[in-house]
Structure 1
Amino acid sequence: MTIVDPVVEPGPELSREQVARYSRHLLLPDVGVLGQRRLRNARVLVIGAGGLGSPVLLYLASAGVGTLGIVEFDDVDASNLQRQVIHGEADIGRPKSVSARESIRAVDSTIEVRLHQVRLEPRNAVNLFRQYDLVVDGTDNFATRYLVNDAAAVAGIPYVWGSIYRFDGQVSVFWDAAPGGLGVDYRDLYPDPPAPGTVPSCSEAGVLGVLCGVVGSIMATEAVKLVTGMGDTLLGRLLVYDARTMTFRTVTLRRDPGRVRVSEVEEDYEVSCGVASPLPSVDSVDGDLDPTSLRALLDGDTPVALIDVRDPVEWDIVHLDGATLMPLPTVLAGDAVASLPTDRPVVLYCKTGVRSAEALAVLRAAGIADVHHLRGGLEAWARDVDPTVPTY
């Protein structure tokens, strides 16, 4: 078992109104009046007000956390509403942080909500974290996850981490400075980031909407446990959830004896995680096409082989007329080279241009010269050429 002392001191005595509001907590021996006073005195920073941040923020607000910080600079999009339950139709186009604050205040108007409408970066992360007792990380990219991990280690505070992918979720608690030699962090689970392009985002791979509620609720539970000191935390354990089979399992995590303790944040996490590496960013290669240029090419007299490198389920949603489906794994395996025509230009496309850029690099390395890709993918095509093409 991994039981740790509460990370927050009790706040003032509860008012009569607060006793009534939190009575179901007060009846729990592991929470009680003292635990609720800790919750009211707690300062919790939530990174992201999206799929995971939505249930985390709503449940922490309902639990009575006195101060909630939100790091979020994005706006609400219609595609968010399938899983980001803190936002509604009327919020489309509005800042997520503002929408989230209004929803929190609708739950409890006495909670202090601090908005940090900035991109989390090495220059601001540590000082920001030091203003809070703990952090909850619901981000969806490896660069930010490593930054959160290192900033929390430097600030000396614990954080709850969660991740979702299609039907699967993971949750753990990381605290490099945990007492009793219990400290583990994200780098003990993932010493090195995955290769660029090997882990698609939710916008490319999809995600079951209700999965966010399950994983986010578990993350909120771990935050409450850290604040109050109740129960057995996930520090030193990884919880893995499979929504398809409705199974949970836990994996023991141990500190890597060879890992050097983090003493400062890096200068550029996007570079170290491969986000800014040259390989996937081949938009600068001569011959790449923007949507307008591709439209002109398709309207010309020269035949064009239009290749869709997305997954079959995406093809079923929308595809360009005259295109041929050739999923990226087929290209990466080398199976596509022999089937590509050599008597006409080949133009690859995907949703955003990331996968088609990767396929382009592979095919050019294989010696195919007259191959190009649609810069910006179908999203750019819908924006610049054909607004009737649905985005997803």
Structure 2
Amino acid sequence: MNIMFMNFKTLLIGVVTSFLLTAGLFVTSDFVKADSHGEFNFIPRIIVFQGNVFINGKRINEYETDITDGITLIAKSGDIELTTEVGSFTAGRYHIQLGPNLDENSTFEIWLENQVKAEESLFYGADSNGKWSLSVIQDLHFSEMPVATPTPTPIPPTPTPTPVVVQPSFLSGQIVSGSSGENAGAGLKLYAVINDYTSETVEIEDGFFKIVVDPKYDYYVGEDIVFILEGIKALTTHKFLAGEFNKEVNLIFPNIPATPVPPTPTPIPPTPKPSVPEPTRTPVPAVIEKIIVEVTSTPTPTPLPVIEPKEEKVEEQKSEIVVVEEESSGGACGANIDPNAPISSGHIAMLLSPLIFIGFRRIFGRN
């Protein structure tokens, strides 16, 4: 009896609840229609597709393989790709949601692992009656099982060995043409190449070369040395050996380039030096030397009493005067005077004229 009462009570509550919900929907619908000017749809345009996945008519979960579940299912439409996994909810089945932010009336191709395409496609849009379905059941059929993508085993990086520095090698020998047998002329340029290493360029001397090959590191040991002569590759090569000193490395080239002739230098005319005009010479006035004769006043001699000398004494005085005149005079004129000749009155006047001039000047100056 109690059980029947409880069932009746539960049924009554369900009926009342359903009635209230239905009434609320109608009221809300009428309110929206009365207050809106256009069509309004509460249901978002989302379609959930689900169904079984078949491989050659057999459900995928019936295959004895480890990849039946967890296979990626891809829906493609243009540039849009949506993915899900087979068996994520139920073994052998798929579930995928399309919408809401998609273009209506879009068709999606279905792929397994981006390898096998399904026979069916999924349509995003309203049905033939113009209604949108929230859930659509659609089985998918594939012709074969996709190949499992192997998971790459991570390989630890191989440690790069530290290169070892090695000694250079010295090589020399003859350079011969393979066609004519002639030696290379002096002045031609030669260099050596080992992979990405290029040596310095050297000049040929009388058909012989000398070159140092120094790639520095041990990973060049055993590699071929290629010789280049003026852009021409040698027919012979040589293995690089660290620290090698070899004077018998003869090189053969298909042909020997012509010996370069140094161009004749064009004589350059000397640059004329600009002429510097000589400065105008300013005439220098002649220097006139002024000779100033300083006249020293001579006191007037006091007259002495006249004493009549004897004849002998007069002759002695005359002789003395002549001697003194000879000694004090100079030049050619004095040399021709006879020392024994008497003194002329002209000479005496010439000697006394300065004294007379000074005396007159003193006398008239006082007056």
Q: TM-score, normalised by structure 2?
A: 0.15
- Greater relative CO, 1 or 2 (CA 8 Å, sep 6+): 1
The structure in which a higher percent of residues are helix is: 1
Tell me which protein shows more strand as a share of its residues.
2
Highest CA radius of gyration, 1 or 2? 2
- TM-score normalized by structure 1? 0.15
